Amino acid sequence: MAQLPVIVMCPSARAPPVPVRRLLSSATKSSTTQKAASFKTQGILAPLLVRELEESKYEVVAGARRLRAAKLAELEKLPVRVVKLTDAEAIEAQCVICSWQDFSLLIRSAARRLHVIDVPRC
């Protein structure tokens, strides 16, 4: 696993739409602040998935929220996994990740509303 400076990474401009998360924008801001606090005390446990765009310039394929939280926490370097992906492969990976996250969010939200179980965050 590599470590890259935060300054050389940018979020993807082609991230797929995330309708479920748009409904929870205030919760997302709160979770970013919580993530930043966690990063300060525990560090980042899961590396970001990035691809090199040009020399010393990387696009975040998976982990845009972790990147925002790391910037908020004023971290200088982040653990990353650098992969070689075409534009189409990067978009496909982002769609798969967003679909899983949205599905997971819907299940947790429904379970809490129905008071069926206390579902931990993934």
- Give the model's pLDDT for residue 18: 47
Average pLDDT over residues 32-55: 87
86 lies in which domain range?
2-113
- 56 confidence band (pLDDT: 50, 70, 90): confident
Q: Is residue 118 included in any domain, yes or no? A: no
Model confidence pLDDT, tens digit, residues 40-50: 888 888 898 88
C-alpha distance from residue 15 to each of 36, 51, 65, 83, 121 (Å): 22, 14, 12, 17, 23
- The pLDDT, as a whole number, for residue 21 is 46
54 vs 84 pLDDT, higher one: 84
- The verdict on residue 29 lying in a domain is yes
For residues 37 and 113, is the Cβ–Cβ distance under 8 A?
no
Instruction: Label residues 90-120 b or e (16+ Cβ within 10 Å = b).
Output: bbebbeebbeebeeebeebeeeeeeeeeeee
Q: Does residue 121 belong to any structural domain of this protein?
A: no
Q: What are the residues facing 59 on neighbouring strands?
A: 10, 51
CATH code for position 85:
3.90.1530.30
Contact between 78 and 9 under an 8 Å Cβ cutoff? The reply is yes
Res 80: pLDDT: 92
pTM listed for this prediction: 0.65
Number of domains in the chain: 1
Question: Considering the domain boundaries, does residue 122 fall inside one?
Answer: no
Cα–Cα dist 1/80, whole Å: 6
